[in-house]
Structure 1
Amino acid sequence: VPELYSQALETKKIHPMAQPEFDVQAVPESAKDDTKLKFTATVERRPDIELPELDGMELEVAKAEVTDEDVNKRLEALRQRFGTLVSVDRPAAKGDYANIDLSAEIDGEVVDSQEGVSYELGSATMLDGLDEALDGLSAGEETTFEGTLEAGDHEGEKAQVKVKVNSVKADELPELDDDFASEAS
């Protein structure tokens, strides 16, 4: 069958895209039998495509307009990506990263706690009120605030949240110079 299938493809100038499905309709009983092998092959074929002449064809390319603001935004994003966190000896401020320990209490009972959490001040990605509580705290200091728990067995309940700052780090951005250009490219 494969040999006859290949001959049929060549004769009919068919270019298949996948393997065929065969339906054998007649098979000779023996080599002396006059019955011919008869089968149908169903296959997805590659379409005939005629490409137009490209000579004389015009193509209009939209002009890319890049402003100084676009360049500055991209440079600042690159600086952020290549920045490093360095410890600072000052109170935490928006944009800093604080390593913190958290403990939530309801009616004097600790219901949840986490240690060594890295948190970006101003990101508002944890408890409501956490950003305000951390703002102005230095390493080693702690405070308590009221917050609504957002997960766990006490989700939606108000709790007294104690937060301790273990360290404060700031993003140190690279200078815009030749060294940075080499590193970023």
Structure 2
Amino acid sequence: MIVSDFIKRILDYGTKQYGLHYNEFVLFGVRGYSVIDGSMVKNDDKIDEYNDLIFLLGTNSIPRYYIATMDPGLTWLRKAMNPLGTARLKEGLYKYKIGIHRGHPALTQYASVTVLRYKEHTGDQPWISWKDEKPSIFQTGWFGIDIHAKGGNTAKVGVTSAGCSVIDSTWEGTVWKEFFSLLKSASHVQNFYYYAVLDQATVEKLIVSDI
């Protein structure tokens, strides 16, 4: 499916599922899909990769998408910051605002979020793909699950995300600057931005459906 057709489907999904309207900016996080030659292509959703997409839509502006990760990196899966396990955003609708992440302007929680927590593996069991993993618990609250740029120009997610969504661009990169400046330009009329998180299985259903 070409990207423009997919955008129509996620806009329709957002309205039917959550009652979203698009006179303001709305973010859609799409797990486990890449854009190749202008088409949406399912990938292997491997852990520690920038293999997700964040779409910035609405306000009659040009639709944009950004390569990202919506998942924690291998560093924190191997050594969880929380004794209950490392956080991964659960599929759903969340609210974000302009804020600060580790000294940098970014998007931070406007309201509580729900996360799935994954405990460290025992022994030498590898972390390979999210489809092979089962969460131990889910929680709703304020966990500092932000949307931000990456700290260094590294190919793997690694230490960059302990559960945050991270654009595949450094803080000084043109990709992050474009993304954040567009959102900031609307901050005088938007107190918050909706962020709809879609798992790979949901995206696949939208693409193969006959609607």
TM-score range, shorter chain: under 0.3
Greater Cα radius of gyration, structure 1 or 2: 1
Q: TM-score, normalised by structure 2?
A: 0.20
Q: Which has the higher contact order (CA 8 A, sep 6+)?
A: 2
Q: TM-score, normalised by structure 1?
A: 0.22
